[in-house]
Amino acid sequence: MIALEKVSAGIGRVQILRQVDLAVEPGKLVLVLGANGAGKTTLLRVISGVVPLWSGEVRFAGEPIAGRPAHELARLGLVHVPQGRQIIPNLSVEENLLIGASHLPGIGKDEIARRLEQEYARFPVLKTRRRLAGGSLSGGEQQMLAVSRGLMMAPKLIMLDEPSLGLAPQMVRRILGALAGLARNGISVLLVEQKSMAIEIADRVHVLKNGAIVHSAAAADVRDHEELFKHYMG
């Protein structure tokens, strides 16, 4: 679905990513683990075009996408749920969701209503809160809303930046459970995290350190999380 080849990038004059190779197959959930400052957020921003590519190539569904504006990528089916959720606090939950779909060309009212119901089925709590202001939701509910808003665009690939941040353990489980469900339903997921818990739901795990991928493995082969962390996260 998406393939990065020898991607290098940085902000200003400071290089952050070094020769990153990474691929997400259709319907797979790929996890990138890394400590603060490893370059996880920059990685997602390079893919979504917010941070310019220095060298290498990013292909989405076989097409090079470097330099395309974010709204065009969203129409192609690539959705980025950034860190910190970015809910619009003064709009209602439903309005926040509709923002996700309403500007897409060629989708009818019925389709939007169908997607809305689909998201309410995924996270029933959002339905009970549909009229409330987005800003009044708890952290976990806001994260659900952010994920659902991304899914309203019916993406082929969804990228999430530390969705577990600041969430109660029980809530982390629900979000991760929903992400696992997405992959099973054919949506590719690129998840960036620093909590080892996410390995449970991943198909493949990469460890990012100082902007380079230093370890890659099938998630099933990662037996000892402690060991992985000891080696790579310090």
Residues in touch with another protein (CB under 8 A) = 11, 13, 35-37, 40-41, 83-84, 121-122, 137-141, 162, 165-171, 173-174, 176-178, 180-182, 184-185, 194-197, 200-201, 229, 233-234
Nearer to another protein, 128 or 138 (CB): 138
Q: How far is the CB of 230 from another protein (least distance, A)?
A: 8
Q: Rank residues 60 and 134 by Cβ distance to another protein and give the closer one.
A: 134
CB 134 to another protein: min, Å:
13
Q: Cβ contacts of residue 107 below 8 Å, gap of 6+?
A: 101
Q: How far is the CB of 207 from another protein (least distance, A)?
A: 11
- In the bound state with another protein, the residue whose beta carbon lies nearer, of 102 and 128, is 128
Q: How many CB atoms lie within 10 A of CB 122?
A: 16
Q: Which residues pair with 165 in a beta bridge?
A: none
CB 75 within 8 A of CB 104: yes
Phi, psi of 174 (to 5 degrees): -65, -40
List the one residue out of 195, 149, 135 whose CA is nearest residue 171: 195
Nearer to another protein, 9 or 137 (CB): 137
**Residue nearer to another protein on the CB measure, 65 or 147:** 147
**Measured from the CB of residue 168, what is the shortest distance to another protein in angstroms?**
5
Tokens of 201: 């739901």
As measured in angstroms, the least distance from the Cβ of 216 to another protein is 18
CA geometry: angle 83, 193, 130, nearest 5 deg: 45
Identify the three-state secondary structure at position 74: helix
